[in-house]
Structure 1
Amino acid sequence: MYHEKIASRSESITLDGYPCHVRIWDDADARAGAPRTPVLLLHGWMDVGASWQFLVDAWAQQQPALLQHYRLIAPDWRGFGQSLPDAPWQAAPRSYFFPDYLADLDCLLNHYAPSTAHLIGHSMGANIALMYAGVRPQRVRCLVALEGFGLPATQPSQAPTRYAQWLDELAQQREGASLVKPYASLEAVAQRLMRNNPRLPLPKALWLAQHWAAPDAQGQWHIRAHAAHRIVNPQLYRVEEVLHLYRQITAPVLAVEASDDSLGLFWKGQLTLAEYHQRLTAIPQCQTALITDAGHMLHHDQPEQLVHWLEGFLR
């Protein structure tokens, strides 16, 4: 089992009546001293805030005074991790809508960083951060987007089919169809994580599995995610709107991608790296970085490489 080098502590707060679990890495002595710059670590889809532990440990190893300079704050997005009811596999809302995450981030910043903060997001978390930085540019000091590719462009003509698919999947859920399968043991959850990311070693997979899933009374392990996250979003992804948000970003942005073409592997040509790079040109201050020998979970695969880029960029 992996042993974290820098332990986190947990807080539970309420965002507009919705429970939110937050993991924080800070220093008790520094807490009483000069204010430190808040850094919000925003996880991706079907992930949890604990997923940042490996990056935090690598960062602290390279910069021992890390927690004297920064306060690292990693929420579990609504419907993930511990930001959900005790039995998420038994009941779920109909859908999770992307604008709600922007509102949650706004509330999180009001609570932890009333002035400005650094945002570091992975995948879905990176997309939330980029869109938010265009809506509230004055709140973001700088932004790091890890594999924040966005989604393939859609056309209005797709709306009838998308809404029909959404209604069909809701009906399946009402009829008891399970969209998130249970696992027999913690080890089985770890094996699932390693299938998702072959570079993830077993000790890290076991450590992450205990945060990524939880057992029920019968000893079955369930992913800490509402089944509704598996239902198609009826809202179309409108690239033109996203690009208008990007143009409003005033913070410097570092867009980091992995050497494995995870975009091509996932979208099969529906969205290409060339198209993603073209979208980045809408951001006024944007530089790119490449992490070698890494896949989509690059903050797990090569945290030391990522820290090198973070150190230079945040300074």
Structure 2
Amino acid sequence: MKASRSEFLSLRGLRYHIRHWGEEGAPKLFMVHGWMDVSASFQFMVDCLQRDWHVIAPDWRGFGLTDNSGSDTYWFPDYMGDLDAILGHYSPTEPVNLLGHSMGGNVVTTYAGVRNARIARLVNLEGVGMPATRPEQAPRRYEKWLDELRTPPVLRTYASRAEVAARLQKTNPRLSDARADFLSQHWSRESAPGVWEILGDPAHKGISPLLYHVEEIMACWSRIAAPTLYLEAEDTDLWRWMGKREEARGEIDRRIATIPQVSTRMIPDAGHMLHHDQPEMLAEIIEGFLLAS
């Protein structure tokens, strides 16, 4: 495995953990993880990169070694604010190569439409957003949010790190024992003897009171100026979030088609955690895209 190193920055009032691979002088490649994940999740893909890169990957607020937000609710625009601060710190003037997975893919793609001059090339790994909503859903959404504030969510604990690894493999049966063991070291910590906690703020489990306005997101995506690569797994389970498969397929394609300079690839023998399932293939495709003239 390629060695990584940790750095902690004070960003927007939080102590932010940033993971680095590679030398400082190498071309920069920023990677941001998805919901209930951590920056170390990219280790296997980074190991497969053939060129020298300085990979910079944060733990989002409330995940991994970054501080919790201090609030009982997490707001999508805060991820964009954090990303803007991170890019401003490491690359204040130079356009960047930016990659995001799942929730992180939604963040970077929306950001790329807002700060379109800041992005050189963009890679989205299954970051298609949430199901579209209707205004009449708002009263019940607010009601549910208020109810949850009275009984904050909790995350279950595990008796050993091996149990954490087994939990990861339950979610992704393709995950090898070695990779599950590695991820469990970064996805959890022992808070007391025989008590392993997931490194994620339980508040992430709570419902957001705000509806997902997909047309607003697509308006941002339509302003992206950078060449964009969208990667999706053949065995994805995006349908868990996006609704019935047939309808969701059309909606995903509609959203991706909004991006002006987008190319798409389907990754075989992979699920939603495609950077765990096919890191060699992803690394080759992504490097080819980033280095294309």
User: TM-score, structure 1 length as denominator?
Assistant: 0.89
Q: Distance in 1 between matches of 2:276 and 2:236?
A: 16
Farther off after superposition, 249-258 or 178-187 = 178-187
- Could you tell me which of 201, 204, 210 is aligned with 2:185? 210
Partner of 2:61: 78
Please state how far the C-alpha of 1:266 moved relative to its aligned partner: 4.2
Farther off after superposition, 269-278 or 223-232 = 269-278
Q: Distance in 1 between matches of 2:79 and 2:238?
A: 23
Partner of 2:114: 135
Please state how far the C-alpha of 1:281 moved relative to its aligned partner: 1.4
Please state how far the C-alpha of 1:218 moved relative to its aligned partner: 3.1
- Could you tell me which of 151, 157, 160 is aligned with 2:130? 151
- Say whether the 8 Å CA contact 1:37–1:117 is kept in structure 2: no
The answer as to 2:55 corresponding to 1:41 is no
Partner of 1:18: 14
Identical amino acids, percent of aligned pairs:
47
The answer as to 2:189 corresponding to 1:221 is no
Partner of 1:8: 4
Please state how far the C-alpha of 1:268 moved relative to its aligned partner: 3.6
AA at the equivalent of 2:22: D
AA at the equivalent of 1:107: A
Partner of 2:287: 311
User: TM-score, structure 2 length as denominator?
Assistant: 0.95
Please state how far the C-alpha of 1:26 moved relative to its aligned partner: 1.5
- Say whether the 8 Å CA contact 1:255–1:287 is kept in structure 2: yes
Partner of 1:287: 263
Q: Distance in 2 between matches of 1:273 and 1:206?
A: 34
Please state how far the C-alpha of 1:282 moved relative to its aligned partner: 1.2
- Say whether the 8 Å CA contact 1:263–1:273 is kept in structure 2: no
Please state how far the C-alpha of 1:308 moved relative to its aligned partner: 2.0
- Could you tell me which of 111, 126, 145 is aligned with 2:105? 126
What is the 5 A alignment of 1:290-301? 290-301=266-277
Partner of 1:192: 167
* Unaligned runs of at least 5 residues, structure 1: none
Partner of 1:251: 226
AA at the equivalent of 1:159: A
* Unaligned runs of at least 5 residues, structure 2: none
Q: Distance in 2 between matches of 1:148 and 1:217?
A: 35
Let me know the Cα RMSD of the aligned residues.
Answer: 1.4
Report the count of equivalent residues. Answer: 289
